[in-house]
Amino acid sequence: MSLTRAPKAAVIETAKDTMMNTSFRAPPDAAIVVGAGLAGLLSAYLLEQQGQSVLLMESRDRIGGRVLSAAAHTGTPFVDLGPSWLWPGMNERLSHWTTTLGLKLFPQHQSGAAIMEMQNHNVRRHASTYTQEPPSLRWEGGAVALLNALMARLERTQLLLNAQVTLIRHA
């Protein structure tokens, strides 16, 4: 994620193989945030809190960066495929934003068997005989709840997906 303040006229070029496939002018005086992962979304939110309009550009077809929560089937619970846990005493900033955004946490289940998929795609089942210290917590709705809570609060941010930025220059 990077942040650039657009001059009165800025031209943004995107990679030829993205859906945008173009050069275009950024909105005048908009802050340009490249990357719509957690850091990019939080940057856009904080810039808006200072009265700034934001152009948020993401090369993928979704927000989130390494944060990805998915359901195996419609109506089933989400599974975190990226970051999953929070340790409040160790992750003070994430704890702050979890509270600020009104998100709920629950304790990570620690007893019973664990299933692991190995690098060669073999699946192994292990009896779990250990507990974590300190215990970890998880977000209700998965780690994607952080992203969704930030997106819901963005009012002056223009989000462009499928926009792999290759150059930002003065017009």
Q: What is the mean pLDDT of each run of 10 residues along the chain (171 residues)?
A: 53 65 75 95 97 93 90 79 89 95 91 78 78 85 93 94 84 68
pTM greater than the 0.75 cutoff: yes
Q: Computed from CA positions of residues 10, 11, 17, 19, in that sequence, does the dihedral angle turn out positive or negative?
A: positive
Give me the phi and psi of 99, to 5 degrees please.
Answer: -70, -50
Q: Computed from CA positions of residues 167, 57, 161, 144, in that sequence, does the dihedral angle turn out positive or negative?
A: positive
* CA 9 remoteness from chain centre: 29
Residues forming a β-bridge with 14: 165
Given this model, what pLDDT does residue 97 score? 97
Q: Enumerate the H helices of 22-143 as residue ranges.
A: 38-49, 92-100
What's the CA gap between 72 and 147, in Å, rounded? 20
Given this model, what pLDDT does residue 6 score? 47
CATH code matching the domain that covers 1-71+143-171, chosen among 1.10.10, 2.150.10, 3.30.499, 3.50.50:
3.50.50
Domain ranges of the chain: 1-71+143-171, 85-141
CB-based contact 164:22 (threshold 8 Å): no
**Helix or strand holding residue 144 (H, E):** helix 144-153
